[in-house]
């Protein structure tokens, strides 16, 4: 996600500093403060995170250190220089029990360590930042990062003739470049508070996989299964669809359907030709 945000801001003419993890560890409060004070930015955008949901269950201390304490360190540093603190958060702060799309003001109730650590990060940002913007997103896909689509494509390309895909979890996929553009617009317009962003269209993982291989025109046989059958360490919300009415109204935009974004992504991978 960080590379897409960097590209979007850079192309828009902004001066962007994007240190890697090896160059700057957000869990090191003193180094983070020194770095932010040195460059004195107008906005600090936190694209770092421990996002492997099941690994968060296995490494809970690390999950909170990165997703919560790291966000707190950035919030304190941004406050020191009067910068806007921008935190990217997740749909997994919700329980999934709601029937409709989640609004920004709905009460969080995460089911897993990843969601709990990201929620704690949100609260740290609100507590320690003078100016803050929290953007929750969901089911992210794009270049340069592990994601669901990349995983199923890899398994197919390695020779899998059938794939078992979860059919009882639903959400809204998000294309990383579209999210990056929304982040830029929010920052440029000086908006603050909590916003949700995802591409349009609510699907299950099984339905999303079907869309991917339908666009490619080839693929393995897909078998729908219940989440419980996988026996993964982390529980996931059954419904994590985010409402994006607030951000669309605030920015005056009409977010495109994820199927349109999916075509762009598969074209980028050389797997789709219109």
* Among 92, 114, 175, 195, the one annotated catalytic: 114
Instruction: Give CA–CA dist 178/259, Å, rounded.
Output: 13
Q: Please say if 195 is a catalytic residue.
A: no
Tell me 214's DSSP state. H
Q: Pinpoint the alpha helices (H) of the chain.
A: 2-11, 29-39, 53-58, 60-64, 70-81, 113-128, 148-157, 176-188, 205-216, 227-230, 245-251, 258-268
DSSP-assigned beta bridge partners for residue 174:
140
Residues 198/137, Cβ–Cβ less than 8 Å: yes
Instruction: Give CA–CA dist 272/12, Å, rounded.
Output: 28
- For residue 29, count other CB atoms closer than 10 A to its CB: 16
Cβ-Cβ contacts under 8 Å for 25 (sequence gap 6 or more): 31, 32
Q: Could you list the active site residues? A: 114
């Amino acid at each position: 996600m960080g590379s897409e945000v960097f590209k979007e801001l850079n192309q828009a003419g902004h001066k962007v500093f994007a240190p890697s993890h090896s160059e700057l560890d957000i869990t090191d409060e003193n180094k983070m403060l020194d770095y932010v004070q040195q460059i004195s930015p107008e906005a600090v955008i936190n694209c770092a995170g421990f996002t492997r949901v099941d690994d968060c269950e296995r490494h809970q201390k690390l999950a909170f250190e990165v997703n919560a304490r790291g966000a707190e360190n950035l919030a304190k540093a941004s406050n020191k220089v009067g910068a806007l603190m921008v935190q990217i958060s997740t749909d997994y702060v919700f329980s999934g029990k709601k029937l409709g799309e989640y609004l920004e003001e709905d009460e969080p109730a995460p089911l897993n360590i990843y969601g709990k650590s990201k929620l704690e990060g949100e609260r740290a940002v609100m507590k320690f930042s003078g100016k803050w913007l929290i953007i929750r997103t969901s089911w992210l896909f794009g270049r340069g990062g592990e994601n669901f689509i990349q995983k199923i494509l890899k398994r197919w390309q390695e020779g899998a003739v059938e794939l078992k895909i979860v059919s009882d979890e639903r959400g809204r996929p998000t294309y990383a470049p579209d999210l990056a553009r929304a982040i830029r617009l929010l920052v440029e317009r000086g908006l603050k508070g909590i916003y949700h962003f995802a591409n349009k269209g609510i699907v299950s993982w099984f339905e999303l996989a079907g869309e991917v291989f339908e666009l490619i025109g080839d693929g393995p046989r897909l078998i729908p299964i219940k989440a419980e059958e996988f026996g993964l360490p982390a529980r996931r919300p059954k419904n994590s669809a985010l409402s994006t009415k607030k951000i669309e109204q605030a920015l005056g935009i009409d977010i495109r359907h994820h199927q349109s974004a999916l075509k762009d992504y598969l074209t980028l991978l050389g797997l789709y030709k219109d």
